[in-house]
Amino acid sequence: MNSATVPLLDDDTIAFGEEDNANKQFVHPYIVFFHLIFRGAAIVVYILCGWFSDSFIASFVLVVLLLSADFWTVKNISGRLLVGLRWWNYVDDEGKSHWVFESKQNRVNRNESRLFWLGLMLCPLIWAGFFIICLFGLKFKWMLLVLIALTLTGANLYGYVKCKFGAKENLKSATTDFVKKQLLQNATSFMFAQPAPPTTGNTGVV
């Protein structure tokens, strides 16, 4: 399985990153709404489904549909428009699987970027909490639904972290390299800093 980081193609069906609106509060308000609504609705329906229906199958199908809509929206639309990132996979003629991570982050709205990453990281944590509850509560049928949610939300999180920090780096290594670089720069500037020239006063010779 191969992976690569490449610039986004010029023939995207949905153009993005071309607006000069980086300082606006929201450039794509509807995309932000749909980025959050599907994953939020899946969590709400999972929590409240027992109040409105006793059918496990109906609740299961509804939550999976919301999760699928969220996965498709985040992977194909909101990632490209809100943060200029996209990941995808294809199989070549020899049957090898290739992962492609695309990045175009030159004009990203800060508010939209914050909401994108907040929703992307927070929801898998919530589903992980539901998994622990199901595990200790021995609710194995619900655990299957939670595992599906973790798989779909976790796949998007993993793909976009790869896009953000590079196809061959993970979040930990990228953060570690950044900290090392900063420490090295500070140490170098401290060791090789030029001493301040001494102040000279007026002296007289008697």
What is residue 15's predicted lDDT score, i.e. its pLDDT?
45
What is residue 146's predicted lDDT score, i.e. its pLDDT?
95
What is residue 189's predicted lDDT score, i.e. its pLDDT?
56
Residue with tokens 């509804």: 62
Distances (CA, A) of 11 to 7, 66, 84, 104: 12, 29, 15, 14
Considering the domain boundaries, does residue 56 fall inside one?
A: yes
Considering the domain boundaries, does residue 8 fall inside one?
A: no
Helix axes 110-137, 29-52, angle to 10 degrees: 20
Q: Residue 165, class by beta-carbon neighbours within 10 Å (0-12 exposed, 13-18 middle, 19+ buried)? A: buried
pTM of the model: 0.66
Containing structural domain, residue 170: 25-186
Residue with tokens 């609106």: 21
| Tokens encoding 6 | 């490449």
Considering the domain boundaries, does residue 51 fall inside one?
A: yes
Considering the domain boundaries, does residue 117 fall inside one?
A: yes
* Cα-based angle 146, 64, 54 (whole degrees, multiple of 5): 80
What is residue 69's predicted lDDT score, i.e. its pLDDT?
95
Considering the domain boundaries, does residue 173 fall inside one?
A: yes
Q: 174-204 burial by CB neighbour count: b if 16+ within 10 A, else e?
A: eeeeeeeeeeeeeeeeeeeeeeeeeeeeeee
Considering the domain boundaries, does residue 11 fall inside one?
A: no
The total domain count for the chain is: 1
Considering the domain boundaries, does residue 13 fall inside one?
A: no
- At 159, the amino acid letter reads G
What is residue 14's predicted lDDT score, i.e. its pLDDT?
38
Sheet holding 2-7, edge to edge: 2-7, 97-103, 85-91
Considering the domain boundaries, does residue 104 fall inside one?
A: yes
The low-confidence residues of the chain, meaning pLDDT below 50, are 7-20, 22, 167-168, 170-171, 175, 190, 202-206
